[in-house]
Amino acid sequence: MNPGTIERAMTPDPILGEWFMISSKAFRDNRKFPPIRLTDGNLVKIETDMKDFRINNAHGNPHLQDKLPSNKFFWFRLSGLNLYYSSTKTDINILGAISIDSLDSVVSTGTDATTEYISTCFTIKDLNRDEWKICGLDEKTVKIWYCQIKTFLKEEDLVMCPKQDPSTNIIEKTINITQPIIIIPIPSKQCNSGWNYQKEGDDWECDCAEGREQAPIDLPIKADAIDSEVRPLFQYEPVEPAGHAPTLDGAIGADGKLRIELKENLLRIFHNRFGKIVTMDGAVYNAEEIIFHTPSEHTIKGKTYDMEIQIVHYGQTKGDIAKQIVLSFLFEKTPGKYNQFLEDINFFDLPNPTSPTRELPSRVFIPNIFKINEEDDIVSMEPFSFFTYQGSLTFPPCTEDTIIYVASDPLPIGSTALQLFQEALRIPDLMDEKGNVIVSDWIPKSARKTQPLNGRPVFHYDHEKNCPPRPNVKSEPKGHYEKIRKAITNYFFVSGNDPSGIPNAYVVSEDEAQGRGYAPKPTKAS
C-alpha cells in the first residue's frame, strides 16, 4: 500500500470516463480501416457523417441500458496517454485505441462549426501523426481531460490549466492503491442471436423491428406501379465449380471447390466473381451471394409464389460501401418445367441440417435463370421487366440502404425441384438413447413475412415498352433468271418479278439458267 498523497482540488482522477464525439479524416483510409466481412456475408465499414464524425450504430437499441446522447457519441476512457472508446459504457469491444503524441489547444464553446452541437473540442495527434478531434458538450469536463493529457505530456498551459497557490484551496486526499485498475466490461447483448424463420421474422429485433424501409413487401400489379425508364447494367460471368481461391466466407474451400451451404437457415452460395450491377450514376455493386427462399418473400397483389431466388450485391465504389442491391426472381410451380440454373445446382443433392455442405458439380451462371429450354443459348442477361423500391436485406441484420429489384414476371419451377428445395430445410425426426422417436416440429420454410410500405414508392420498368423487339423484316419476293444473247450467252439473276429492262435480255427458266435441259422458247423481257 502506498502512503497517502496531497492533490489539488482541480486535479482530475487518474482514469477518466465520459461521452465524447470523435472526428478524423483517418476514418476514410481503407488501408487503416478496411471493410470487414461478417459471418453473415455482410461487408461492414466505419460509418461517418459529412464532417468525418464517427457514427455509433448502437444508438437507438432499446435493449441497451446506457442512454447515448446521440448517434455520434461514444464512451471514452483516458488512462495515461492512452485513449480508448467503445459503443457503450459496458461494451466489452473496444472500437478504437489512440496513443497520444501531442495535443492542441481547446476550441472554446460555440466556436467549432464542424458539429451541430454547442460543443468544446480539442485535437490530438497519435504516434502515426494522424489527427483526432474530440468534442464534448460540457466545457468544464473537456478542459479537465485536456489538462490531464497536458500533465501526462509534461506540458504546461497556464491559460487553460493555471497553477494554484499551494497555500489556498488545498484538499487532503488519500489514495490507497493495492493493485492496478482492471476494467472488465460486461458483454453487450447481440441482436437476433440464434434467429430463425419459425415466426416469419416477427421475433427479430433492432433494425428488423424498428426500420422504416424494410423488405420484403407486397408489390402492386404492374399498372399500379410508377412507370420508370431507369434500368441498371446487369453483367454476370460464369463461375466454374473449381479453380478459384478461397473466400473469407469459407464457401469456397482450400481445395478451390464451389459449394452450396445450409447456413443460418438459408441455402446459400458465396462467391466474389458472379458479376456486378452498375447503376445509372456509375455505382458498382458486386454479386457475392445467391440465396434460395421457400416460399417467396415478395408477393404481388397478395399472391405468394413458391420460391424466390435472391442475388445479393455489395457496394464497391466510394460512398456505396455500406449499401446493397438485391435482385430477386419469383418462381411458380409448374409440373415438368426445366430451368438450367436450377439444374446446375443439382437439386437432387442439396445440403440439409445433418449435412450442411455440398459441392456444386457444374458452373454457376446467373443468366441461365432464364434458360427454360435445353436448346436455348444464353450468353448474357436476357432483358426483363422488374419492380424496384428502397428496402433492406430480408434477413438479420436487415440492413437498410438497399435497392431491391424484383423481376415482375414469375418463372416456372418443376414440382420435383421445388419439393427438394423445401425438404432441404426440414430437421429430421431423431431417436434418443432409449430408442424413442423424437418428432421434429420444425417448419421447413425460409421466408420473412411482408413489411409495411410506409409510403415508399414502387417503380416498374417494362422492358417491352422501353426496349421493343426488332420488327420482322419481310422477305424479298422470289426473283428470276435472264439471258443476254451475245457472242456467248450470259445468265444472271434478277431480284423481283419485273424484268430488268437490259437490251436483248430475255426471261428464261431456272432449269435453263442452271443448265438442266432445254428451256421453252424465250420471251423478250422488254
Show me where the domains of the chain are located. 5-173, 207-466, 480-524
For residue 347, give the 3-state DSSP assignment: helix
- Number of neighbouring beta carbons within 10 Å of residue 299: 19
Integer Cα distance of 470 and 460 in angstroms: 22
**Beta strands at 459-461 and 226-228: parallel, antiparallel or unpaired:** parallel
Find out whether 83 and 97 touch, Cβ atoms under 8 Å.
yes
Residue 71: which of 92, 84, 86, 57 has the closest Cα?
57
Integer Cα distance of 63 and 74 in angstroms: 17
**Beta strands at 307-315 and 226-228: parallel, antiparallel or unpaired:** unpaired
Q: Which residue has the cell 455500406?
A: 322
Integer Cα distance of 154 and 37 in angstroms: 42
Integer Cα distance of 316 and 129 in angstroms: 29
Integer Cα distance of 295 and 330 in angstroms: 9
Residue 270: which of 296, 288, 297 has the closest Cα?
288
Integer Cα distance of 400 and 163 in angstroms: 53
Report DSSP letters for 127-181, one per residue: TT--EEEEEES-HHHHHHHHHHHHHHTT---TTTSPPPPTTSSEEEE----SS--
pLDDT computed for residue 106 by the predictor: 84
Phi, psi for 363 (deg, rounded to 5) = -70, 155
What's the DSSP call for residue 463?
Answer: H
What's the gap between Cα 261 and its chain centre? 19
Architecture of domain 207-466: Roll (3.10)
Integer Cα distance of 306 and 415 in angstroms: 10
pLDDT computed for residue 289 by the predictor: 95
Alpha-helical regions (H) of 10-138: none
What's the DSSP call for residue 69?
Answer: S
The separation between the first and the last C-alpha atoms of the chain, rounded to the nearest angstrom, is 129
What's the gap between Cα 410 and its chain centre? 23
- Number of neighbouring beta carbons within 10 Å of residue 515: 7
SS3 content of the chain, % helix, strand, coil (to 5): 10, 30, 55
Alpha-carbon distances, residue 421 vs 77, 409, 413, 416 (angstroms): 51, 21, 11, 9
Find out whether 512 and 484 touch, Cβ atoms under 8 Å.
no
Find out whether 101 and 130 touch, Cβ atoms under 8 Å.
no
Burial 489-513 (b: 16+ CB within 10 A, else e): eeeeebeeeebbeeeebbbbeeebb
Q: Please give the grid coordinates belonging to residue 402.
A: 438497399
* E strand or H helix at 453: none
Query: Exposed/middle/buried for 165, CB within 10 Å: 0-12, 13-18, 19+?
Result: exposed
- Amino acid residing at 40: D
Topology of domain 5-173, CATH: PH-domain like (2.30.29)
pLDDT tens, residue order, the chain (526 aa): 333 333 333 444 567 889 999 999 888 887 788 877 666 667 778 888 888 899 988 877 776 666 777 888 999 999 888 898 988 888 777 888 898 999 988 876 665 555 667 788 999 999 888 899 999 988 889 999 999 999 889 888 888 888 765 554 444 444 454 445 455 554 445 688 889 999 999 999 989 999 999 999 999 999 999 999 999 999 999 999 875 444 444 445 445 678 999 998 899 999 989 999 999 888 999 999 999 999 999 999 999 999 999 999 999 988 788 899 999 999 999 988 899 999 999 999 999 888 899 999 999 999 999 998 877 777 888 899 999 999 999 999 999 999 999 999 999 999 999 999 998 998 876 666 666 766 677 888 999 999 999 999 999 999 988 876 655 544 455 565 565 554 456 676 777 777 766 666 767 777 777 766 544 444 444 4
* E strand or H helix at 465: helix 463-466
Integer Cα distance of 20 and 70 in angstroms: 10
- Number of neighbouring beta carbons within 10 Å of residue 383: 14
Find out whether 188 and 64 touch, Cβ atoms under 8 Å.
yes
Integer Cα distance of 299 and 264 in angstroms: 23
For residue 205, give the 3-state DSSP assignment: coil
Query: Exposed/middle/buried for 342, CB within 10 Å: 0-12, 13-18, 19+?
Result: buried
Q: Please give the grid coordinates belonging to residue 68.
A: 447515448
Long-range contacts of 161-166 (CB under 8 A, 24+ apart): 164/8, 164/9, 164/10, 166/8
pLDDT computed for residue 298 by the predictor: 98
Q: Please give the grid coordinates belonging to residue 186.
A: 460486461
Query: Exposed/middle/buried for 79, CB within 10 Å: 0-12, 13-18, 19+?
Result: middle
